[in-house]
Structure 1
Amino acid sequence: MPEMKRHLSGATRIVVKIGTSILKTKLESFSFREHSRICNEIFDLISIKKQPVIVSSGAIALGMKSCGLKKRPTDIDALQACAATGQGKLIHAYESFFEKKNIHTAQILLTRDGLENRKRFLCARNAMRKLMELNILPVVNENDTVAVEEIAFGDNDILSVHVAHLVDADLLINLSDAEGFLLKSGTRVREVTSEDEIDTKLFAHLSDKKREETVGGMRAKLAAARLAMRLGIPFMIVNGHQPGILRSILEGKDVGTFFAPSREKKDQRHKWIAFSARRQGKITVDAGAFRALVEGHKSLLPGGIIKMEGCFEAGQVVDLATAEGKVFGRGVIRYNRKDLALIAGKKTSQIEPLLGRKTSTEVIHRNDMVLWSAR
């Protein structure tokens, strides 16, 4: 608990993910009263010298309202149309509230595939950081008109982790309509300290409920929590309907469920490899290579490779998997698929004769690799 309180009390740059369920009531698919309540809490953070970044759902719900729809459409085209209709209204709601407090907002629409490109990732990161330097409040949503990942799954839960990664956040708060993660007995889990706990203690207690305006349930939140932990970002699931919840978190009160970040420090490039970069294939290694990578902190050599999947070029990111199929890391590969097929399973002394040229002995260098499992 002392470590949790240290993370919470010391947090300055805070990403707050606001789901559709927080912005609605039983009678309204989008409640401007609830929206103002949350905005007041965000403003409270600013007044105590915090730097909040908002990741907000609600565009589809506002679009449904404008289109006279009571039920969430099931086809992607209609969902995108609702998002396009509602997005301008969503950012207008934020700007209308905060301009009265002499704070300007900036609309940022992201797509996951845009962040998979390293150059675009850096451009987005630099823009976000400049906005914060200028004391402008970023309001982020997925560009649902051209991307559908969060429409189909997650209600921006995964996107919020991308944003926390972009701005190097001290804390990511996921406002939910639950008190935190609840066991089937109704007991609230107060702290999760490892990914293993998610697998062994939490998954068995999942019970997602479908809603008309959103698809984000606890399963999506656990997926987001896992990624945040892996990236070293403290993550909380709390009840966003509880008045004063953001201040309660920072004061260390007993609320929600805290997911402790990994203690392994990674630089921004390695975080991008681990999380944002598009994976172009998968390399399966034998038990000896697995031990050399995880326990010996070695580079991957061709002799330990037993299987390849995907069509990749040198310089692209691939998953690393055990013979049992468990993905335990990622890395930037130095060979294309065609050349690697010739040298996989061979000794390093055979590389030059087989390829007809002198090249790297490492398939993936240790400095270009991120591992997250020691099992």
Structure 2
Amino acid sequence: MSKTIVVKIGTSSLTQPETGQLAISTIAILAETLSHLRRQGHQVILVSSGAVGVGCARLGLTERPKAIALKQAVAAVGQGRLIRVYDDLFTTLQQPIAQVLLTRSDLVERSRYLNIYNTFKELLELGVIPVVNENDTVAVEELKFGDNDTLSALVASLVHADWLFLLTDVDRLYSADPRFVPDAQPIALVSSIKELEELQVQTGTQGSQWGTGGMVTKISAARIATAAGVRTVITEGKCPQNIEKILQGEPIGTHFEPHLEPTSARKRWIAYGLVPSGKLYLDEGAVVAISQAGKSLLAAGITALAGEFDAQDAVLLCDSKGNEIARGIVNYSKAELQQICGRHSSEIPVILGYEGAETVVHRDNLVLT
């Protein structure tokens, strides 16, 4: 049965750790594996890191640049070389590919979000493997995905994928970093992300010298993907052939079970596609009404505001301690909300001088996080 499969490979798997040069043998095996999956009838998307790392190697830089302008310049050098290597290998296997470069702003606007979906749909129907990366050359810091783990999860959510494979430099998730803790316990199956919190799994935030990710970003990606109903697997990037073995049922890697009732595409866009501009702090009654009763947010339940936002911007909804409980699209600007927060809905027309929305965030535009 045909499946839609998203595969993310990180810089640590694509490059030699000592030099930052491309690990051609790994990339060749990856190309063979993905081409074979296409011939079996599966739809495949590859999310590939490596542009900055390859650019560093090409320019003789000994460490990843931190300044955004230099990083963008290095990415411009590396991206062309990276896609050429992929195209040469996939062409040898008679498998067409396409380069897709995305920034966070492509997902923020609903019409562009849908356009990207339609592009992926057409490419997959043509039998093409899209090779996706963040457009590091133009992405500004506040509109970056931050890492390709997050990008791959958002792509998997967007295309309604069946599987997301996160290829990394360890064979699975462990209770602690196995590089430093010899008796770290392997974790084969995660039914919910809360399990990891209960196990107090230690996740390093730093990736390799050449990459940006760490295990914490992969768990965050799994949270996004599983909420969309996508089964997610963390496995070793140096062995891309494991993807086929896992699809055949072999117990390799760490599997994150998908939610049985995934959230709607629109609510996933609100939760993960939009970049929140502000925060609304809620009283206990509002928190209960939203999180337990599925109600809309009213002005009476808001105790404080933070950030700068206009009507129809995305905001975080937080409890009194600042813990995020939900995200939503707000019906009022900050200036308007400063006048009406804590007040009853019937008072809003008198305070503002015009008939506003009854809700600050309607439940249809609100998603629990």
CA distance change for structure 1 residues 232 and 367 in 2, over 3 Å: closer, same or farther? same
Which amino acid letter does the alignment assign opposite residue 112 of structure 1? R
Q: What's the CA shift for 1:243?
A: 5.7
What letter is aligned with 2:191?
T
Residues 191 and 256 in structure 2, CA contact (< 8 A), matched pair in contact too: yes
List gaps (5 residues or longer) in structure 2.
177-182
Question: Which residue of 2 is the match for residue 16 of structure 1?
Answer: 7
- Amino acid of the structure 1 residue aligned with 2:333: N
Tell me the C-alpha RMSD between the 2 structures: 2.3
Q: Distance in 1 between matches of 2:272 and 2:338?
A: 26
- Write the distance in 2 (CA, Å) between the matches of 1:263 and 1:310: 35
Alpha-carbon contact 1:164-1:233 (below 8 Å) kept: yes
Alpha-carbon separation, structure 1, partners of 2:322 and 2:17: 45
Q: Is 1:220 matched up with 2:217?
A: yes
TM-score (norm 2): 0.91
Aligned-partner residue type, residue 29 of structure 2: R
Is the 1:79–1:151 contact (alpha carbons within 8 Å) kept by the matching residues of 2?
no
The alignment partner of 1:307 has SS state of strand
Separation of aligned partners in 2, 1:302 and 1:208: 38
Q: Which amino acid is the alignment partner of residue 85 of structure 2? A: A
Contact 1:152 1:215 (C-alpha < 8 Å) held by counterparts:
no
Instruction: State the one-letter code of the partner of 2:89.
Output: F
Q: Which amino acid aligns with 1:23?
A: L
Note if contact 1:193-1:259 (Cα within 8 Å) is conserved in structure 2: yes
Alpha carbons of 1:147 and 1:127: their partners in 2 closer, same or farther (altered >3 Å)?
same
Task: Please tell me whether the aligned partners of residues 48 and 133 of structure 2 are also in contact (alpha carbons under 8 angstroms).
Answer: yes
Residue 329, structure 1, aligned to residue 326, structure 2: yes
User: Matched residues in 1 for 2:205 and 2:362: separation?
Assistant: 41
Does 2:95 match 1:97? no
Letter in 2 for 1:121: Y
Deviates more, 1:66-75 or 1:176-185: 66-75
1:310 to 300, 307, 311: 307
Q: Which residue identity does 1:119 align to in structure 2?
A: S
Q: TM-score, normalised by structure 1?
A: 0.90
8 A Cα contact 2:38 2:127, kept in partner: no
Aligned residue type for 1:197? E
- Aligned residue in 2 for 1:191: 189
Deviates more, 1:245-254 or 1:96-105: 96-105
Q: Equivalent residue of 1:269, what SS? A: helix
Q: What is residue 134 of structure 1 aligned with on the other side?
A: 126
Q: Which piece of structure 1 moves more, 66-75 or 118-127?
A: 66-75
> How far apart, CA to CA, are the structure 2 residues paired with 1:152 and 1:358?
37
State the secondary structure of the residue aligned to 2:277. Answer: strand
The 1:11/1:150 distance shift into structure 2, 3 A limit, reads farther
CA 1:151–1:348 in structure 2 vs 1: closer, same or farther (change >3 Å)?
Answer: closer
What's the CA shift for 1:290?
1.2
Deviates most, 219-228 or 36-45: 219-228
- Structure 1 48/358 Cα, relative in aligned 2: closer, same or farther at 3 Å? same
Q: Write the mapping of 1:246-325 to structure 2, written as runs, cut at 5 A.
A: 246-325=243-322
What is aligned with 2:233? 236
Q: In structure 2, what is the equivalent of residue 36 of structure 1?
A: 28
CA offset digits 1:278-326 (Å, max 9, x no partner): 2121111111111111221111111111111122222221111111211
What letter matches 2:296 in structure 1?
Answer: S
**Residues 76-87 of structure 1 mapped to structure 2, 5 A cutoff:** 76-87=68-79
Specify the SS of the correspondent of 1:279.
Answer: coil
Unaligned runs of 5+ in 1: 1-9
| One of 327, 344, 350 as aligned partner of 1:347 | 344
Q: Evaluate the alpha carbon distance shift between residue 256 and residue 73 of structure 1 in structure 2; reply closer, same or farther with a 3 A threshold.
A: same
Aligned counterparts of 1:158 and 1:329: Cα–Cα separation in 2: 19
Residue pair 1:301, 1:363 contacting (<8 A) in 2 also: yes
Match of 1:245 in 2: 242
Q: Give, as a single letter, the amino acid of the residue that structure 2 aligns with 1:332.
A: I
Amino acid of the residue matched to residue 258 of structure 2?
A: P
Identical pairs, percent: 38
Q: Secondary structure at the match of 2:279?
A: strand
